[in-house]
Amino acid sequence: MRFKRVKTPEEPETLGLELEETVPDAKTVVFGARPCGIRGFAMFDRVYATDRVTDPYYKARRDNTRFVTVACTAPMNTCFCHWVGSGPADDDGTDVLLVPVEGGYAARAVSDEGEAMLALVETTEKKGVKAEADAVAKAAREKLGDAPDISDVPGKIMEAFDDLDFWTEMTAACVSCGACTYLCPTCYCFNITDESRGLSGRRIRTWDNCMSHNYTQEASGHNPRPTKAHRMRNRVGHKFGYYPDLHDGTILCCGCGRCVSRCPNSVDIRRIVMRVKER
């Protein structure tokens, strides 16, 4: 929202406040995203657009955004979408799924909105294209290999909660840069800041980063998560423990591996999850 501090002739000694709420209304198509990235929005929906609580700003953007996803055919060695119930051709959260086939893409509408989008573009029929697309998706899934059973990890995370030595070891290489959270498609914590110039300004919401020491810093100076170990325990605990506990076992990680490939010190969330499992 935007705000403006105003003085009135009736009460010149006090500052009044004028507010202008701005709900986003731009229509957007995200084209060519990967399934792992879009799956994140299905996870946000369980938090920001539920029957119980709806965030009007998130909801407005979500309702005005459509996703055209391209199935992944060349997973990297940092990918582990198959660990968390997903896969290279997952259509969770998307509107149209494209699968690369000989001579183009097989397009499949996933939602009613996706159906409407496909009706707007020129497509050609190709005999046997569904079987070809299924084979492409199957081959990509096979490249990922076997996945460990991590269904016991949510419970074990809670058992490991008070073992700070364990979390200290798991965080030894971390330099608290926050890259892992800022590029994560399933991280959704935010901060609220007032930016003003003179008497007017705006209140904005920005992505926040739980790996930063400031994240839980309280006004008194006390910080309930004072070390890297406390913060990593929260990050991994939220994704693999508390969120699944609240949302029918769904893990708050799409296995995209972005945090693994971009961490400057090669902290690998898969290793932490497996160490929790093996405890």
CB of 73 to ligand SF4, least distance (A): 19
Distance from C-alpha of 151 to C-alpha of 38, rounded to nearest angstrom: 23
Cβ–Cβ < 8 Å for 25, 62: no
Site for ligand SF4 in 193-212 (CB under 6 A): 211
Q: Binding ligand SF4 by CB under 6 A: which of 65, 111, 176, 216?
A: 176
Q: Binding ligand SF4 by CB under 6 A: which of 18, 205, 264, 279?
A: 264
Compute φ and ψ for 243, nearest 5 degrees.
-65, -50
**CA 48 remoteness from chain centre:** 12
Taking the CA atoms of residue 184, residue 186, residue 187 and residue 191 in that order, the dihedral angle to the nearest 10 degrees is 110
In angstroms, how far apart are the furthest CA atoms of the chain? Answer: 78
Give 110 or 183: the residue with its C-beta nearer to ligand SF4.
183
The tokens describing 28, both together, are 């957007």
Looking at 238-268, list the stretches that DSSP marks H as alpha helix, in order from N- to C-terminal side: 243-246, 258-262
How many residues bind ligand SF4 (CB under 6 A)? The answer is 24
Q: Binding ligand SF4 by CB under 6 A: which of 153, 160, 180, 276?
A: 180
CB of 169 to ligand SF4, least distance (A): 13
Cα–Cα separations (whole angstroms), residue 222 to 142, 177, 225: 49, 21, 9
Q: Binding of ligand SF4 at residue 147 (CB under 6 A)?
A: no
Instruction: Considering only the stretches 25-33, 109-117, 158-166, 249-257, report the one whose residues sit in contact with ligand SF4 under the rule CB under 6 A.
Output: 249-257
CB of 230 to ligand SF4, least distance (A): 13
Give 81 or 101: the residue with its C-beta nearer to ligand SF4.
81
Cα–Cα separations (whole angstroms), residue 278 to 80, 123, 148, 241, 272: 18, 50, 11, 16, 10
The tokens describing 90, both together, are 């997952």
Instruction: Considering only the stretches 50-58, 160-168, 176-184, 199-207, report the one whose residues sit in contact with ligand SF4 under the rule CB under 6 A.
Output: 176-184
CB of 260 to ligand SF4, least distance (A): 6
Instruction: Considering only the stretches 17-25, 57-65, 159-167, 175-183, report the one whose residues sit in contact with ligand SF4 under the rule CB under 6 A.
Output: 175-183
The tokens describing 69, both together, are 């996803």
Residues that bind ligand SF4 (CB under 6 A): 174-180, 184-186, 211, 239, 253-259, 263-265, 267, 269
